[in-house]
Amino acid sequence: MNEILYLDHHATTPVDPRVFEAMRPALTGEYGNPSSAGHAFGRAAQKQVADARARVARLIGADPQEVIFTSGATESNNVALLGAAGHYAQPGSHILTEATEHKSVLSAVRHLEGKGLCAQILPVDPQGLLDPAAVRAAVTDRTLLISVLFANNEIGTIQPIKEIGRIAKEHGVLFHVDAAQAAGKVPIDVNGLGIDLLSFSAHKMYGPKGIGALYVRRKGPRVALEPLFHGGAQESGLRPGTLNVPAIAGFGKACEIALAEMEDETRRVRALRDRLEARIREGLTEVYVNGHPVERLANNLNMSFPYVDGGSLLAGLWQTMAVSSGSACSSDIPEASYVLKALGLGPERSGTSVRFGLGRFNTAGEIDAAADRVISVVTELRAASPLFQAWKSGRLAG
């Protein structure tokens, strides 16, 4: 497996060796339950959790008390949306979100619609941006909450969070942001951005799987959530159950590293991403980048390769690299991604897309090898593609 290049960092990331080391004490000697405040084992575990909570809070400019540990961003999104609706909703309450949200937000919103809430899903422009003016126009006196994805997991488009946060504040509406792809990669200050609830996850930022956080604002306003689970006082009663101390310690370390190295890492990864795009463009005609050219995560490259069969393209790439398509291959017929559809892309673009997600440990040599492989697989498929031959002769004739 180590011969396969890993370029799927939007799906998950490897655990940074420094994170792994930070998890060791809680997995070996310091295995106490942080709820056992009386004895030394419990207190050592408590200290691990408190240190991690402070590090997680620092990454997003929050107070440690405002950080609730969860199992990941899916859970955080659900606790935020269902919890806010549970506490604040009245008949006819309205939720605003956008078409390219993560499935966990869209599904939670659908669930709330089933409970009688009114949801409005705003469209995005062809580059994936949500227009703040459209948000402003859609807010009514019944709007309870606006939920916006900070950075998209397929195309990397970064939304105008600050502008939308200002609109939410002006109207006294709660603002939830899914920052699973953005946290640790772009600066986040929950106060400066006007965010009331923020979801993120350790395994998208070189921490372990199964741990994440929900930021819940405590001042201006103090946000109240109806708990989804019952049984204990942990995490302000919002997430009862014994804390996963090793994972929490690792998450804290991952946040500390991300904050300290964000600028350097962003610069390095962006250069690799741009190199990958430039090399592919040198070797192939008719390739397209999906998403926003500038307002985009530094590690994201989502490209379409028209005139090839999307399934054959992936099969060819998967022999040497881990990348993902925009299509959910849950059946034999690949279904075009709802995100690419929301951009208005036709099947020739949405059905032939490849998502490259670069990461902390990728090297220039790996990127060059990936570009070479992409060029050779696409060239080979196009040589056998009647569509591509037709396009070429049409272009020659025209």
Ligand X SMILES: *Cc1c(COP(=O)(O)O)cnc(C)c1O
CA 332 vs CA 131, 310, 384: distances in Å: 36, 12, 22
Q: How far apart are CA 306 and CA 349, in angstroms?
A: 6
> Between residues 93 and 104, which has the closer beta carbon with respect to ligand X?
104
Which amino acid, residue 279? Answer: R
Q: Which two tokens stand for residue 283?
A: 């070797």
Q: How far apart are CA 250 and CA 207, in angstroms?
A: 6
- Residues 198-237, mask of contacts with ligand X (x by CB under 6 A): ---x-xx-------x-------------------------
Binding residues for ligand X, total number by CB under 6 A:
14
> Among residues 98, 178, 196, 256, which is the contact residue for ligand X, using CB under 6 A?
178
Q: Which stretch binds ligand X (CB under 6 A): 70-78, 167-175, 259-267, 333-341?
A: 70-78
102 part of the interface to ligand X, by CB under 6 A: yes
> Between residues 203 and 273, which has the closer beta carbon with respect to ligand X?
203
Classify strands 300-304 and 353-357 as parallel, antiparallel or unpaired.
antiparallel
72 part of the interface to ligand X, by CB under 6 A: yes
CA 124 vs CA 85, 148, 149, 370: distances in Å: 25, 11, 12, 31
Instruction: Give the orientation angle of helix 364-383 with respect to helix 310-318, to 10 degrees.
Output: 140
> Between residues 104 and 304, which has the closer beta carbon with respect to ligand X?
104
Query: How buried is 9 (Cβ within 10 angstroms: 0-12 exposed, 13-18 middle, 19+ buried)?
Result: buried
Any idea what the Cα angle at residue 143 is, between residues 139 and 149, rounded to 5°? 75
Q: How far apart are CA 120 and CA 378, in angstroms?
A: 40
Minimum CB separation from ligand X for residue 380, in Å?
32
- Give 4-43 as a DSSP string: SEE-BTTT--PPPHHHHHHHHHHHTT----TT-TTSHHHH
Closest residue to ligand X in the complex (CB):
72
97 part of the interface to ligand X, by CB under 6 A: no
Minimum CB separation from ligand X for residue 10, in Å?
6
Q: Which two tokens stand for residue 294?
A: 């500038």
Q: What 3-state DSSP class applies to 335?
A: strand
Minimum CB separation from ligand X for residue 357, in Å?
10
Candidate list 40, 278, 315, 329, residue with the active-site label: 329
Is 255 a known active-site residue? no
Minimum CB separation from ligand X for residue 392, in Å?
38
CB-side exposure of 287: number of CA atoms within 13 Å? 22
> Between residues 102 and 253, which has the closer beta carbon with respect to ligand X?
102
100 part of the interface to ligand X, by CB under 6 A: no
> Between residues 201 and 352, which has the closer beta carbon with respect to ligand X?
201
Binding to ligand X in span 116-155, by CB under 6 A: 149, 153
> Among residues 73, 124, 145, 164, which is the contact residue for ligand X, using CB under 6 A?
73
176 part of the interface to ligand X, by CB under 6 A: no
104 part of the interface to ligand X, by CB under 6 A: yes
> Between residues 93 and 300, which has the closer beta carbon with respect to ligand X?
300
Interface ranges with ligand X (CB under 6 A): 72-74, 102, 104, 149, 153, 178, 180-181, 201, 203-204, 212
Residues acting as catalytic residues: 329
